[in-house]
Structure 1
C-alpha cells in the first residue's frame, strides 16, 4: 500500500529523473541481474515504512518471500564494487543536483559520529570517549565510529546536506591489516576524513570542506599539504578552533650573524584578543542558520601548529554573548564568507546521525 501511494504522489517528470539517475549506475554492474536487484533495493529503501532491513523492502514492495535470500546475496555479489558505486553516485550528484558553489568550489561537509552498540563482540566496536557538554550523555560508550562526507545542495532559501559517503573509521584497523588493505584505511580518523574529501574533490574539481574543531590538527594539515603537492585535487578546509588555541605572528627578519632564521614570531592567546583588541573588530550582516544576523569579527592571518607553523586565516567572531574562533586554510576567503560557510555546518548533524543508525 505504501509503495502504491508513493508512486501516485509523484509526476512523470520525477519518474523520468529517477530513471535517468538509476540508469547512470548500469556501468557499475557486470551482470544485468545484479543491476536489476540494485534498482529494486533502491526503490524499496525509498518507500519502506520502517527500518527492519531487507524484510522492510520485501514487505513494502509486496515481493514474493522467496526473493529474500536472493536479495541478501546481492550485498555480497562480485558483480559490483562499492568504490565504483561511490564514484557513479558522485558523478550523478555533479550532473543533477543544484549544488552550492563558493568561488567556483563546491562545499563539502564532514563529521564523525559515535553510535552506541550493545554487542561488545561486534566487529569494529570499541570504547569511545564522548566530548560533550550534555550531562545526559555518558563520558565513555562502546560503539562504532563513523566518518561521513556530504555536499551542500538546494536553493538560497533552503540548503541541505546530500550524503556522499560513510564508513567505519576506527576499530577496524587490525581487520584491514589482515586482509592487506591499503594504509589509508589504517590511518587515523582525522586523516581518513581528509582522504575521503580528496576523492570527492577530484570529482567536483575543487572543494571547501567544513569540519568541526576536533579536526583542526597537525596530521590533518599535513595530509592536506601532501594532497596538494601530489595533485589529488583542490581542497581547502574551514573549521573551528578551541578557545584556548594559541597562534603566532610572522617571524621578524633574520638578524645579521650566525644562527638559523626564526620560524615564528610573538605568541598570541586568541581568546585574549576579544578583550585586548576590541576596537579592531568590524561589524557585518551575515547569513547564519538561514537568517541574517549582525556579527562583529576580527580577521587575522597567523601561524599555527607547534613545529608546523602553517599560515591560517583566523576569524574571531562575537555574536551576541557567544564567542567563536573560525579557521580557514584558504587565505583568499573573506571573513564574512568564512562565517557564513561555518553557519552551514548545522545541516549535516541530523543527516549523518540518521545514516549511522
Structure 2
C-alpha cells in the first residue's frame, strides 16, 4: 500500500529498479510461497490428529501445528524451526518498533518540540522512544488472551485508511487531514465496538477479557469481516468530507512532489501549464496494477492447485501469472536502469 515500513524498505534499496524488484519479491514470497507450507501442515494435522490429545486440549485447534512439529521433526530440524519462529518474531517486532519510533521522532518530537537539533540528538531520543514502545507493547501483550483477536483489533483500526494510502499517490486533493481523519475514524469506531463488547459482557455477568468477545449489534455477532463493513464506509465518508472541507496542500509543494515521484493519476490542476514525462513505472499504472495482481494471485493459487493435483487449473493460473510477469517486466522493469 506504499505506507510506513514499506516505504522505509524501498528507500533503503540501491535504486528504483532494486526497490521495485524487492517489493515484487516480497509480495511473491509473502503471498504465493509462504502460505502453502502452513496449509499443508494444517491438512496433515487433521489427518494425523483428528482428535486433539487431552494434554493439548487448552490449545484447541491451535494444537495441530506443534503436534505435527513435535511428532515428525528430529531434534536438529525442530531447533531450526524454533529459531526461525524467533527470527520471524523479532523481524516483526523490530520493524514496528523502528516504524513507531520514526513517527514519534519526525511527526511529533522534531516537528513540535525540538525542530533544530542534531541528527545525533534525534537518534538518541529515537532509542528512548523505542524502549518506551517496547515497555508499552509488553504491558499490552500481558493483557491479551488471544493473538488472533488482537490482530483483528489492530487490523480493524487501520482498515479505514487503506484507500487513502493508495489514492494519496494518484489524487492531488488528498492531504494530511484526509489521512488523519481516516485513521482517527477507524480507531474511534473500532474502540467504540470494543467498548460495546465490554458493556455487553459485563451486563451479562461475565468476566471481560481484552479482545475476547465480539459485540452484538442488531442481533448479529460482529466478527472482523462485519466490523470492516461498518468501519471502512464510515471512514471513507469521513475522510472524503474532511478532504473537501480543508485546504489542499500548497501548489508549490504538490508540484515538487509530482516532479520527484511522477506517479500518474489525477494531477491535472497541479501539472497544467508545463510539460512532463512520466517515468516507466508511472505510465499506465492501472494496467501494471492489474498485471501485478495477475502475477501474484496466479502464482499463489497456481501453486495451491498444483499441490492438490488440480493440474488443468494450475496450468491456467500459472499462465495468468506468466502474462502478468511479462507485462510488469515489459512495461516497467526493463525500462529502469
- Give the TM interval when normalised to the shorter protein: under 0.3
Question: So what's the TM-score if we normalise by structure 1?
Answer: 0.21
Report the structure, 1 or 2, having the larger helix content: 2
Q: Which has the higher contact order (CA 8 A, sep 6+)?
A: 2
More strand by share: 1
TM-score by length of 2: 0.21
